[in-house]
Structure 1
């Protein structure tokens, strides 16, 4: 099976054995980030090049076997907190926006959870990831995924995108940019994982958030942004829209309301819309 210049390969017996053995580990070891990193880095060296369709916790998806993070996705240990939260909260009929979809980890999971009456809008600017994302979307049990090959921002139009730094920047190539408010009129959940420009994306989704969308943002400390400033500005903006921030725990439950940058570094934060009910979350 091919798409443009991408060929799907057979992951081979080493991958299947590693996946089986990893799933047999005691939960405390299986959920250890350090063990997952060490194991995936070393197993990835033995994997074939190319792309492959594999089973994951959310459904079948396209991965790059030589990428350690993709192995963790296949083993079911990638971002356990967010996967657990999504499994607990997404229901049949929901509309889910995957902003910064990458290869489609949450696109395929959400698609299978919201069912035929729901909808998933999956947005990814990088062509390499987008080609893989298309393969992933084809694996869904339902015809409910809309793919958008674009970046997200405060307004729709064009933006400069730096492929080297993997984020929107003043230096780079010009790409299509969309404001989420221009993509869809209603959403139940928005997931943002874009390694920069989160505040602009939130501004572009203001109407969706005001209309009840629950918003998940990953806050990571990258050299091209000040996490302190990002957190302060995002917290202030979302508070004005009636949203309170809660860190998502590993089991998918919500921690207490957070206030400081130290509490959210490298964590997924749910900006819970107090004007909209959120079921199945404790």
Structure 2
């Protein structure tokens, strides 16, 4: 590992440490930031519904625009603190090389796109897709100055055309999705209904062919639309065999679409891996069993050609 990558890994260690600390520990580490987050969420957002635009420095030393109360962990620690996201970042730091082409499908505000932009360097490329109209604006703020990145306000799916997309209020924006009904049994869903928007969808097969760009790694985080993304990518997968990093849900969270996505990749000759605490891949034959034994609600799986 190069000196730069070791520095990134050390920075991620601090993100992980902050995420594992108690509320008191987080306050002591960043009292002003922590107080701002709590006061905004408990007063301004709760009673007035107002978001707060802020900037922060990530653990990889890039400035990032955020809208509180979402992405609070990035604002406080400089990174995503969920265990699965820390392990995914470790994997990318270890395995995404200079000169590669990184597709970020469901880029949200651009955290992983920015990290990948640093990793692939000027000789590489980032292609970020975000369907949410509101989140896309913040993604543009974060990536527009990156010469190696391009941004597409598109849903990636199994057909080209217009699709309905559902945006939730800021606190629940991580659940923005093509299918909002998947959340109907969640307690928060009844109080926080989404806004419907029409967005353009594109298949990866069409996009890659029309833009003459071939992905090396594809990160997919699309809240239940993983199977649609991969169904529209079969030619790319069969011909170019990019590495796939994909969110995978626990069986108790109605993960039928994730199972279909997993099976599609296995049928194309891929093998599934989980990411260990060091960012290394461990092959698995049963992701559902991994989810049950780990107790996680969600995790990131990596699929590589067998």
TM-score, L = length of structure 1: 0.76
Aligned-pair distance for 1:122?
0.4
Query: 2 CA distance for matches of 1:242 and 1:232?
Result: 16
Is the aligned partner of 1:81 residue 2:125? Answer: no
C-alpha RMSD of the superposition: 3.0
Match of 1:214 among 210, 232, 243: 243
1:30 aligned partner: 18
Q: What is the match of residue 60 of structure 1?
A: 63
Deviation at 1:118?
0.8
Aligned to 2:283: 256
Distance 1:54 1:139, change over 3 A: farther
Q: Which moved more, 1:201-210 or 1:79-88?
A: 201-210
SS where residue 82 of structure 1 aligns?
Answer: helix
CA 57–273 in structure 1, closer or farther in 2 if over 3 Å, else same: farther
Evaluate the alpha carbon distance shift between residue 29 and residue 237 of structure 1 in structure 2; reply closer, same or farther with a 3 A threshold: same
Say whether 1:195 aligns with 2:223: yes
Runs of 4+ in 1 over 6 A off after TM superposition: 25-28
After TM superposition, list the pairs within 5 Å mapping 1:136-175 onto structure 2.
Answer: 136-140=142-146, 143-164=147-168, 166-169=176-179, 172-175=196-199
| Equivalence for 1:103 | 109
Q: Structure 1 stretches of 5 or more lacking a match?
A: 1-22, 275-282
The equivalent residue for 1:3 is: none
Which stretch of the first structure deviates more once superposed, 250-259 or 79-88?
250-259
Unaligned runs of 5+ in 2: 1-10, 28-32, 45-50, 169-174, 182-195, 292-296
- Structure 2: distance between partners of 1:109 and 1:231: 25
Distance (Å, rounded) in 2 between the aligned partners of 1:26 and 1:121: 28
Bigger shift: residues 109-118 or 169-178: 169-178
* CA–CA distance in structure 2, aligned partners of residues 180 and 114 of structure 1: 21
**Higher percent of residues as helix:** 2
C-alpha distance after superposition, 1:239-267 (max 9, x if no partner):
11110111112321112324141414511
Tell me, yes or no, if the aligned pair for 2:104 and 2:128 is still in contact at 8 Å. yes
From the superposition, tell whether residues 255 and 62 of structure 1 become closer, same or farther in structure 2 (CA, over 3 Å).
Answer: same
